[in-house]
Structure formats: C-alpha cells, structure tokens
Structure 1
Amino acid sequence: MRLLVTGASGFTGTALIRFLSPYEDIQITGITRDKVTRPSGGPGGVTWVTADLLDRDHLCRLVASLQPDAVIHLAGMNHGSPAELFMANICGTQNLLEAVSGIKRDCRVLVTSSSAVYGYQGSSPINEENPFQPLNEYGAAKTAQEILAVMHYRALGISVTIARPFNLAGPGQAHAFLCGKLVSQVVEFGQGKRKALDLFETQSSRDFVDVRDAVKAYWALVTHPRFMEDCAGNAFNIGSGRSYAISEVIATLEKITGRKYPVSLPADPQRVALLSQQSDISRIHRVTGWKPEISLEETLRDMLAAEQARIAA
C-alpha cells in the first residue's frame, strides 16, 4: 500500500508512523510543512516531502506523482487567529481533496476532525448523530472541514471518512494541551521549580484517549475491507468512552508519583463553556471492532517517563 500522511511530523503523525513501522508492505510518504519540523529520529522507511497544503498547484502535482492508495489527513491548526484556523483546516483540506480527486476515486481518505464540533451537549455520551454546536473558532473550522469532506463524497464520489478524536494524550504531547501541561508542571514540582499546579479550573470533565489508541482507530477505518459501504461518508468518534474531571487527572498523577499537588486557581475564574464531554464509541466498535486499550493511568505514567527523559537529555 502507498500511504500519504499529512502532518506526519506532528504529535499524532509521529505516533502513527511508529505504529506502522513494522509493516514492510506499506510505503509511507510523510508531508511536512517545513524541513525543520522533520523528525531527526524515529522509525525509518518513511519518505519525507515538504509541501504547503495551501499551495494547491504544488499539492496536486505531488499527489499525482505519488499515486497514493490511501491518505490520512492529520495536518491542521488548533491555535491561531480565525483566519489562520479556517485557512489551515478548510482550505488545506479542500486542496487535498481536489488533489485526490484528480488521480483516482478509489483512493481512501481519512480526514481527522475533532470533538470540538460538538461543543457542550450535556453530561450524556455524545454519538455521531448529535448536532454540531462548536463553541470557538477552531470548532467552527472543523465543522466546516467535515461539511466540505462530506460534500466531496456526495457530489464527487471521493472515498472519504471522518474521524472525530476527543482529547488526545500521550508521550511527547505539547505543554499547550491539558495532560501535557499537567505532566510538565508535575515534573517541575518534583524538581522544586514550582510550588503548585497553575490551572484555570479543575471541575470540567473531558474524554481522554491515548494517541497510540487513536492511530490504531484511524488505521482500522482506512483499511476496512468494506470501506465504501461502511466508512465512506460517515464520521466516527474516537475516544475512551469515559469522562474524567481535571481533578481526577490530578488525583491519578498523585497516585502515580506518591505526592500531593496544591492547585493555584485564578482569583476571578472565567466561565467554563465546555463543562463536560464523553464519547459514545459504539459506532466504530461495531464497524471495525476497535476499542481503546490504554488506561488514563498508563498514559500518564508513560507521559511522565517521556517528559523526565526529555529533560534528562
């Protein structure tokens, strides 16, 4: 199989390539936006190319030369101005789908969206039939990205499916994300560099899924034997099926390290718009058999080990 991965040098892309590295029959081409972002180590067997998904003509020529059998589209942006978010997530996806449509219709495409398209929908598990209710520009951009992908499926017959990951976590996660931030601060606490965890609030709840489980879900979808019948044109939640309050995540870190962590909160806390999210993952389990295997405690243990190793290096 010839596989094209966009955003291949990022957090999820690195996990995906590591997962696929034992498969000798997969020819992986990883797209990075800048040469500097290419991983210096990690699994071999990957052909790296530099491309900007906003450069439509170059992207079309590149995809035509590669003739991929499948595309896993991980590239995008989750922080930035509204214009940057919409350009990266919508226009980049549009260009990629156009490039794929110019080669062959049976090329399978997986577009990664986000649970941000749901916003807050109460405490009940969220399934794929819940309406779009984004609460920020990122969620709005991902909503538009999904609508665009389904449009290409319905109007042009592009073989595209959508993955909606909930809150990813795992070794090497950036400190801008909740689990990455907590792990970094816990390590700093152990080094005596801080006296408390600095957070905005601790009561909201999230569905955390390990990135190593998530990439297995992506692979199960894009390689499904009945892709056109069961996957194309549909969206699939990727989550743990559980919801954890931030205070529970802290308690798990305390259990792992055997320490107690004071929490410093703002004197005037901001209103929390997204009180909770929990995924219903019955659709992907029914279609592919996938289910998460890594517990939150295992994820946090591995994240702590990776952060300590990074600092030591």
Structure 2
Amino acid sequence: MRVLLLGADGFIGRRVADRLLADQDLAVTVLGRRDSADIRFDLTAGSPGALARFLDAAAPQVVINCAGVTYGTSRALIKANTLAVATVCEAIRRSREPARLVHVGSAAEYGPMPAGVPIPETAEPRPVGPYGVSKLAGTELVITSGLDAAVLRVFDVVGPGAPTASLFGRLAEGLRRALEHHERVVRMPDLSGFRDFVDVRDVARAIQAAAVSAATGVINVGSGHAVRARDAAQLLVRASGFEGTISEDARQVLVPSQVVTDLHRGVEQPPRVIEPRAVVEPVQWRQADVRTARDRLGWRTQVPLEESLGDVWLETACRV
C-alpha cells in the first residue's frame, strides 16, 4: 500500500513514520517543509492544485495528516489547523485517484463535558479556545468532504519525545534542573484537572490501524480512563527520584499541549502560563469513550501510564 504522510516531524508524526517505515507492506512518502521530506510543500501556503499534482505523482492510496499546531495566534492556528486541512481535502478531490484520508483531530474539540462521564463521538462539540475551534473546523471539513475519511480525535498524548511545551515535558525539565541544582521545589500550574492520557506509541498504532481499515467518521483515541493530572505527575516524580515538593499555583493554568507537528519550522514554542480569566481551555474533566476504536479498528492501548512517564523521564535524564 502506498501512503503519503504529512507532519512527520511532529511529536505524533515521528512515531507514525517509525511504524509505517518498519512495515514492509507499505511504501511511504513524506511530504513536509523540511529538507528531509521526500516532497517539499508548505500546507499553510501551497495551493490545492499544486498539492494535487504531487498527489498524482506519488499516487498514494492513503494520506495520513498529522500536521497542525497547538500554540500561536488565532490566525496561525486557523491557517495550520483549518485552511491547511481544506487544502488537503480539496487536493485529494482534484487528484486522479482520490486517496483515503486519515486525519488527526483533538479532544480539545469537545470542550467542557460533564464530570464522571466518558465522552462519546456523538457528544456535541463545544470548544472554548482558538485551538479547539480551529481543530473542530478541520474535522468538519474532513467529515463533510465526501472523501473516504476518518478523523482520530486524540486525547492527551504523553510518552517519549514529549515537547518541552507539554505538561510532562515541562515537569520533566523542571525535575532535571531541580536535581542538578539541588533545589527542593518545582513549580507547576494547577494540576487538579482530570485527563485521559494515552501514550504516543499507542496513538501511532491507532493511526496505522485506521489507515488500513475501512472505518470512517470520528473515532476517539484515548486510554478510556481519566486520571487526575496531579496523580500522573507523581508517577513522573517517582521515576525521577526527586524528593522535594511540587508547588502548584492555582492562579495559573498551562495551556493544553498536544503538539502534533511543526508547521512553524519545527520550533517548539514555550508553554504559556496564563491567568484563569484568560484560560484557553478551562476543562476539568476529559475521558474518552473508546468503544468505537476497539470495535472498528481492533485497537486497545498497550503502554501503561507509569511506563509512558518513566520513558519521558529516561529521555529527559539522558539529555545533555
């Protein structure tokens, strides 16, 4: 099977690329902005017609779109998460043999949901910030495109390779600095919310499964379990051996950080800590209903959260 991968340099995209390239039954072509890509193309600036010509040349049977950004101005988010998706959909429609499309969405599209209840794909999305709105618009473009398409609505991704802008990337760096400088306190934003953490390697397996399946529509990808962020943080603290204190500032909230790829030339933006009145995504509860992924993709998570965070620390500790 011929596969065209978009966003191969991002947190999720790198793991997807690793899986696809290891599969001898797949012929993988990477499209992106970097010199390492097989096809150089900027999704935020290129036209659908130009992309359609590349599609005709590569003749993929499946296009996997892991491209997108989490941080930036509303304009940048819309360009990367909405307009770029419109370009992909229109290019596939114009190509001689339209490919199947697997698009990576985000749980931020749902917005606030009732606590204690798993979120099904049928839940009415009500995103509350520019990121969630831009991702939902991209999802709607895919679902209404008339293409053979699936959107994997990915929950809170963790694991090795986590960007330093992410919650656990930030915590791991803080722990490393504290251990190096013999500090007793690591400061973090509020960790009282519940999240559905899923390892990036499990996400990559789900994307590969969707690529070779006939499943269409929106499919949640998460662990199916909600964990308080504070409890998850303690798993990382124990892995590090840090014996000091994690100090939470209830006045500060870390903007969610599911970094998908690097449409801004691979430069991670630092985590933004902001006042509650300006919170981009004030969501206290997030837990995926994963029955659709189980039934239609034959997919379940394999990597426990403790192992995932242990790998985050191992990678951070080895960083020079």
TM over 0.5: yes
- How far the C-alpha of 1:9 sits from its partner, in A, is 1.3
Q: Which residue of 1 aligns with 2:259?
A: none
- Does structure 1 residue 205 correspond to structure 2 residue 194? yes
CA distance in 1, matches of 2:196, 2:203: 13
- How far the C-alpha of 1:21 sits from its partner, in A, is 2.8
Equivalent residues of 1:7, 1:73 under 8 A apart: yes
Instruction: Tell me the SS of whatever aligns to 1:310.
Output: coil
Q: Which residue of 1 aligns with 2:242?
A: 259
CA distance in 2, matches of 1:164, 1:105: 26
Per-residue CA distance 1:48-100 (angstroms, 9 max, x = gap): 22210130133222112111010110111111111111111111111111111
Count of residues paired in the alignment: 291
- Choose the corresponding residue for 1:303, options 305, 309, 312: 312
**Alignment CA distance shift 1:193-1:137 (3 Å):** farther
Q: Which residue of 1 aligns with 2:269?
A: none
- Choose the corresponding residue for 2:40, options 50, 53, 61: 50
The one-letter code sitting in structure 1 at the alignment partner of 2:290 is I
The answer for unaligned runs of 5 or more in structure 1 is 39-46
Q: Which residue of 1 aligns with 2:262?
A: none
Q: Which residue of 1 aligns with 2:231?
A: 248
CA distance in 1, matches of 2:176, 2:242: 11
The one-letter code sitting in structure 2 at the alignment partner of 1:132 is P
- 1:169-184 correspondence to structure 2 within 5 Å: 169-184=158-173
- 1:19-30 correspondence to structure 2 within 5 Å: 19-30=19-30
- How far the C-alpha of 1:261 sits from its partner, in A, is 3.7
Equivalent residues of 2:92, 2:98 under 8 A apart: no
- Does structure 1 residue 276 correspond to structure 2 residue 285? yes
- How far the C-alpha of 1:268 sits from its partner, in A, is 4.0
The one-letter code sitting in structure 1 at the alignment partner of 2:134 is A
TM-score scaled by length of structure 2:
0.86
CA distance in 2, matches of 1:105, 1:2: 12
Q: Which residue of 2 aligns with 1:135?
A: 128
Equivalent residues of 1:52, 1:59 under 8 A apart: no
- Choose the corresponding residue for 2:56, options 64, 74, 90: 64
**Alignment CA distance shift 1:161-1:197 (3 Å):** same
Q: Which residue of 2 aligns with 1:98?
A: 90
Instruction: Tell me the SS of whatever aligns to 2:203.
Output: helix
TM-score scaled by length of structure 1:
0.88
- How far the C-alpha of 1:264 sits from its partner, in A, is 2.9
Structure with greater helix percent: 1
CA distance in 2, matches of 1:99, 1:18: 26
- How far the C-alpha of 1:111 sits from its partner, in A, is 0.9
CA distance in 2, matches of 1:164, 1:242: 15
The one-letter code sitting in structure 2 at the alignment partner of 1:13 is G
The one-letter code sitting in structure 2 at the alignment partner of 1:256 is A
Could you tell me the percent identity over the aligned residues?
27
CA distance in 2, matches of 1:109, 1:194: 49
The one-letter code sitting in structure 1 at the alignment partner of 2:69 is M
Q: Which residue of 1 aligns with 2:301?
A: 292
Q: Which residue of 1 aligns with 2:71?
A: 79
CA distance in 2, matches of 1:51, 1:254: 41
- Quick one: higher RCO (CA 8 Å, sep 6+), 1 or 2? 2
- How far the C-alpha of 1:266 sits from its partner, in A, is 3.4
Equivalent residues of 1:4, 1:71 under 8 A apart: yes
CA distance in 2, matches of 1:194, 1:69: 53
CA distance in 2, matches of 1:306, 1:258: 15
Equivalent residues of 1:105, 1:159 under 8 A apart: no
The one-letter code sitting in structure 1 at the alignment partner of 2:289 is D
Equivalent residues of 1:172, 1:307 under 8 A apart: no
CA distance in 1, matches of 2:203, 2:88: 22
CA distance in 2, matches of 1:152, 1:261: 52
- How far the C-alpha of 1:194 sits from its partner, in A, is 4.5
The answer for unaligned runs of 5 or more in structure 2 is 253-274
Equivalent residues of 1:9, 1:30 under 8 A apart: no
Instruction: Tell me the SS of whatever aligns to 2:22.
Output: coil
CA distance in 1, matches of 2:3, 2:137: 25
Q: Which residue of 2 aligns with 1:14?
A: 14
Instruction: Tell me the SS of whatever aligns to 1:199.
Output: strand
